[in-house]
Amino acid sequence: MIVCSKINLLLNVLNRRSDGYHELDTIFFPLQNPADELTIDFNGDTTGSVTIQCDTPGVPLDPASNLCGKAVYAYCKAAEIPVPACTIHLEKHIPCAGGMGGGSSDCAAVLQLLQEKFALLTDVQLAETALSLGADVPFFLHCKPARAGGVGEKLSILENIPEDLPILLAASDFPISAKWAYQQWTPSYAFPADQSEKLIMALQKKDLQTAAHYIGNSLAFAAFRKFPLLQIIKDEFYRSGALCAELSGSGPTVFGLYSSMDTLEQAKQYMTKHLPGVRIIGGRKQK
């Protein structure tokens, strides 16, 4: 199964609740590149252990820690079945701890594969199980442009948004802890409450120039301050002709939006040349 990634076209952190969770207004945009590849082999035994195979350093192989393993346990608990013996093969292409939701997407893929095999949960139960595993996991069950509110649990799919936005990514290989990023947030980093509506309207009109104006991330201010490389990458996006450049999620992946695929293709060459060591992802040719 091909497992998509995401960027947040808007991540508006509105408030920190007394329980420590943050209230958000976010717009998820799914990407087919980069994508992980995931398969599950069931060895036929109805009970047994979950094995995770993955060669990427930093990805936990212990099923109690890896979101793929957690997904198996959560599905079986919700469906009230014993955990089946299985091996999950995971080929990672989505940068780890890169703000692109890789773990959550793998998690949603496992839930879907289990549902395909056992078909024991209703859509509502599947969505609830996904939410119990992470605020952005329900989004990955659909992989369509979506807006999420609350602490991420109020998900609505957005209609009439172009699915092939000219987006280029610059993925750095150092991790940023989401916990750290949220700890840096202060109320001054919140955008106006109507920013998401304005962004959605611009996207629906395919007015990318206006959309670029409303793209934003409340977690970006602290990350750009702490990691100068991110500011260098952002500046290069603008030099390459991007309409805007912003951090995705808690970073460190930075994305740029262009006016067309042709501009993006030219920019990709520029970015690859000027940012050695940074993975430039996107465009027509690369898969």
Taking CB under 6 A as the rule, does residue 250 contact ligand ATP?
A: yes
Binding mask 129-148 for ligand ATP (x = CB under 6 A): -------x------------
Coil, strand or helix at 79: helix
Closest CA to 225 of 279, 189, 256: 189
Distance in Å, CB of 251 to ligand ATP, minimum: 8
Task: Write down the residue that tokens 């992989």 correspond to.
Answer: 143
Q: What does the DSSP 8-state code read for residue 84?
A: P
For the chain, report the end-to-end CA distance as a whole number of angstroms. 15
Region 158-187 residues binding ligand ATP, contact defined as CB under 6 A:
178
Stretch that binds ligand ATP, among 12-20, 92-100, 234-242, 262-270 (CB under 6 A): 92-100
The residue (of 106 and 236) whose beta carbon lies closer to ligand ATP is 106
CA torsion 210-214-220-224 (nearest 10°) is 30
Contacts of 227 (CB under 8 A, 6+ apart): 172, 174, 176, 251, 252
Q: What does the DSSP 8-state code read for residue 69?
A: H
CA torsion 247-203-109-178 (nearest 10°) is 20
Distance in Å, CB of 55 to ligand ATP, minimum: 12
* Chosen residue from 63, 102, 138, 256 binding ligand ATP by CB under 6 A: 102
Count residues near ligand ATP (CB under 6 A). Answer: 20
Task: Write down the residue that tokens 């409340």 correspond to.
Answer: 218
Binding mask 48-77 for ligand ATP (x = CB under 6 A): ----------xxx-----xxx---------
135 CA to centre of own chain: 11
Taking CB under 6 A as the rule, does residue 98 contact ligand ATP?
A: yes
Taking CB under 6 A as the rule, does residue 106 contact ligand ATP?
A: yes
Stretch that binds ligand ATP, among 75-83, 94-102, 117-125, 266-274 (CB under 6 A): 94-102
Distance in Å, CB of 279 to ligand ATP, minimum: 14
The residue (of 34 and 84) whose beta carbon lies closer to ligand ATP is 34
* Chosen residue from 101, 145, 256, 282 binding ligand ATP by CB under 6 A: 101
Joined together, the tokens standing for residue 214 give: 């409303």
The residue (of 26 and 115) whose beta carbon lies closer to ligand ATP is 26
Burial 171-203 (b: 16+ CB within 10 A, else e): bbeebbeeeebbeebeeebbbeeebbebbbebb
The residue (of 48 and 60) whose beta carbon lies closer to ligand ATP is 60
Distance in Å, CB of 41 to ligand ATP, minimum: 17
Q: At what angle do helices 67-79 and 102-118 cross, to 10 degrees?
A: 40
Q: Which residues are catalytic?
A: 6, 136
The binding site for ligand ATP (CB under 6 A) comprises 58-60, 66-68, 96-104, 106, 136, 178, 249-250
